[in-house]
């Protein structure tokens, strides 16, 4: 069967459904094609910082997002072994400063919130893209169920292993970062309050590892997410079951709160973290990549999905601005690439900081306000996608793209960008 459509969104994860919402809200006709038989997300949480909440509000999902999100007053950072207090980030105060809350969601709740208003006639499930050909007047999309769609324009939201990315750039596989993650959800009724006192959100750091735990779903669940340096190669999979005993053994001599928390884990997932070198390969011609398909990053700034929500809003605005879609795509890349490159570098810096081997240096960095990403990143959280969707972003100098001057001198600039090739693994 061959059908036609104007704009095809390939991939119905957080990036794809957010974009479908944005296009619907801004009156742009689009259809969504998802490989899975149903839209769904894994049993885990995702945190969303204020500027990305503004994007979600702006793309037409405010009420549903507010209903699904949990607000924590703030996050404590402690030493993983001694329990020593290291830092408190007051999220209510920061939310006031930035004009929108920090939210933590169960991923499935957020995806439901984004998918619930989309017309079922515009969502095509069980459509795994296997081939795409960019032609003079359209893009031919071939799906594994035998269907062929001729789309005038395509938005690739098909995740870190994007087929559309491969079509455009050949074998450009993400590389293993040397990091493994564990994830688990606990019934909050099983978690004594003293463990996550007093705000219900704690992060434990130690050389080469960190653990975060916080409430989601109106405090009905506690989400645990960890990250550790490991020499061992770990498979990249969203569905690989882990061994709770192995998870506990990954964190040596945990302080009493963390030990009590980890002892409650009976079910967990484990996977390796993969990312690509920072690059400008975000699409060309009739195909635009967004979300992890464009800019998979290490999760240490909590910004992978947040940047996808900004993508969704900004792309929706450009596509409804009256420009031809290819011009809209070019403008989207012009304003988005420098910002996301900055966020990718911040995530790498934050990973390095959280896993520092020298604890005294880590404490000194916290005291000087140079270590933690929080509080010092007005350029990140102060961005307002709704008011600034068509403006060149401001990026802190240490994270901005370098620009090679005429005599080979290097400076930083947010408007001209050479391709950069910082590998996550190498940078770490």
Ligand X SMILES: Cc1cc2nc3c(=O)[nH]c(=O)nc-3n(C[C@H](O)[C@H](O)[C@H](O)COP(=O)(O)OP(=O)(O)OC[C@H]3O[C@@H](n4cnc5c(N)ncnc54)[C@H](O)[C@@H]3O)c2cc1C
Which of these is catalytic: 103, 176, 214, 428? 214
Q: Which is nearer to ligand X, 129 or 211 (CB)?
A: 129
> For the chain, what's the residue count?
428
- Min CB(42)–ligand X separation in Å: 9
111 touches ligand X (CB under 6 A): no
Q: Please identify, among the stretches 126-134, 192-200, 202-210, 257-265, the one whose residues bind ligand X according to the rule CB under 6 A.
A: 126-134
Structure tokens at 384: 């307002």
Contact 277, 22 (CB under 8 A): no
Contact 150, 142 (CB under 8 A): no
| Rg for the chain, CA atoms, rounded | 21
Which residues face 284 on adjacent strands?
287
- What sign does the CA torsion over 405, 408, 412, 416 have? positive
- Min CB(397)–ligand X separation in Å: 24
Q: Please identify, among the stretches 69-77, 188-196, 301-309, 403-411, the one whose residues bind ligand X according to the rule CB under 6 A.
A: 301-309
Structure tokens at 281: 């390969």
Q: Which is nearer to ligand X, 78 or 270 (CB)?
A: 270
Among 31, 34, 75, 109, binds ligand X (CB under 6 A): 34
- Residue 234-273 contact track with ligand X, rule CB under 6 A, x = bound: ---------------------------------------x
Among 60, 242, 254, 299, binds ligand X (CB under 6 A): 299
- Min CB(384)–ligand X separation in Å: 17
Contact 181, 212 (CB under 8 A): no
How deeply is 420 buried, as exposed, middle or buried, from its count of CB atoms within 10 A (0-12, 13-18, 19+)?
Answer: middle
CA separation, residue 427 to residues 95, 278, 351, 418, 422 (Å): 31, 11, 10, 18, 6
- Does residue 198 have a cis bond before it (omega within 30 degrees)? yes
How deeply is 399 buried, as exposed, middle or buried, from its count of CB atoms within 10 A (0-12, 13-18, 19+)?
Answer: buried
- Min CB(367)–ligand X separation in Å: 26
Other C-beta atoms lying within 10 Å of the C-beta of residue 206:
25
Per DSSP, helices labelled H in 355-427 are 359-368, 378-381, 385-388, 424-427
Among 15, 28, 118, 347, binds ligand X (CB under 6 A): 15
The C-alpha atoms of residue 312 and residue 129 are separated, in whole angstroms, by: 21
Q: Which is nearer to ligand X, 243 or 327 (CB)?
A: 243
- Min CB(11)–ligand X separation in Å: 3
Active-site residue, 215 included: no
- Residue 151-170 contact track with ligand X, rule CB under 6 A, x = bound: ------xxxx--x-------
342 touches ligand X (CB under 6 A): no
Among 5, 7, 14, 287, binds ligand X (CB under 6 A): 14
Give residues 174-233 in contact with ligand X (rule: CB under 6 A): 181, 225
Among 50, 291, 316, 325, binds ligand X (CB under 6 A): 291
Which residues face 165 on adjacent strands?
none
- The count of residues interacting with ligand X (CB under 6 A) is 34
The C-alpha atoms of residue 253 and residue 266 are separated, in whole angstroms, by: 19
- Min CB(413)–ligand X separation in Å: 26
Active site residues: 214
Which residues make up the interface to ligand X (CB under 6 A)? 10-16, 33-36, 46-47, 127-129, 157-160, 163, 181, 225, 273, 291-293, 299, 302-306, 308
């Amino acid at each position: 069967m061959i059908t036609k459509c104007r704009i095809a969104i390939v991939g119905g994860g957080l990036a794809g459904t957010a974009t479908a919402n944005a296009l619907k809200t801004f009156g742009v006709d689009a259809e969504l094609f998802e490989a899975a038989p149903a839209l769904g997300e894994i049993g885990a949480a995702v945190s969303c910082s204020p500027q990305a909440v503004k994007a979600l509000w702006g793309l037409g999902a405010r009420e549903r997002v507010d209903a699904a999100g949990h607000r924590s007053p703030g996050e404590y950072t402690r030493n993983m072994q001694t329990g020593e207090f290291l830092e408190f980030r007051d999220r209510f105060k920061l939310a006031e400063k930035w004009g929108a809350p920090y939210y933590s969601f169960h991923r499935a709740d957020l995806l439901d919130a984004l998918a619930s208003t989309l017309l079922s006639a515009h969502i095509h499930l069980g459509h795994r893209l296997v081939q795409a050909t960019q032609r003079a007047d359209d893009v031919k999309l071939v799906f594994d169920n035998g269907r062929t769609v001729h789309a005038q324009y395509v938005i690739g939201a098909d995740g870190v292993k994007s087929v559309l990315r491969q079509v455009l750039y050949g074998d450009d596989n993400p590389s293993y970062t040397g990091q493994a993650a564990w994830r688990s959800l606990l019934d909050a009724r099983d978690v004594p309050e003293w463990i996550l006192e007093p705000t219900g959100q704690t992060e434990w750091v130690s050389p080469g590892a960190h653990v975060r735990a916080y409430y989601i779903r109106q405090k009905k669940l506690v989400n645990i997410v960890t990250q550790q340096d490991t020499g061992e190669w770990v498979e990249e999979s969203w569905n690989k079951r882990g061994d709770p005993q192995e998870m506990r053994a990954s964190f040596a001599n945990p302080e009493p709160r963390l030990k009590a928390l980890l002892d409650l884990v009976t079910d967990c997932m484990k996977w390796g973290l993969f990312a690509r070198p920072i690059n400008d390969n975000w699409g060309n011609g009739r195909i635009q990549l967004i979300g992890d398909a464009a800019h998979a990053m290490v999760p240490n700034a909590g910004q992978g999905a947040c940047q996808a929500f900004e993508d969704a809003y900004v792309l929706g605005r450009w596509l409804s601005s009256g420009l031809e879609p290819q011009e809209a795509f070019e403008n989207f890349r012009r304003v988005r690439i420098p910002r996301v490159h900055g966020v990718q570098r911040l995530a790498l810096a934050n990973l390095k900081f959280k896993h520092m081997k020298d604890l005294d240096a880590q404490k000194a960095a916290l005291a000087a306000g140079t270590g933690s990403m929080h509080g010092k990143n007005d350029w990140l959280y102060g961005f307002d996608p709704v008011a600034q969707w068509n403006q060149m972003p401001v990026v802190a100098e240490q994270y901005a793209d370098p620009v090679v001057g005429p005599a080979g001198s290097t400076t930083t600039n947010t408007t001209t960008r050479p391709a950069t090739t910082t590998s996550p693994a190498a940078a770490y």
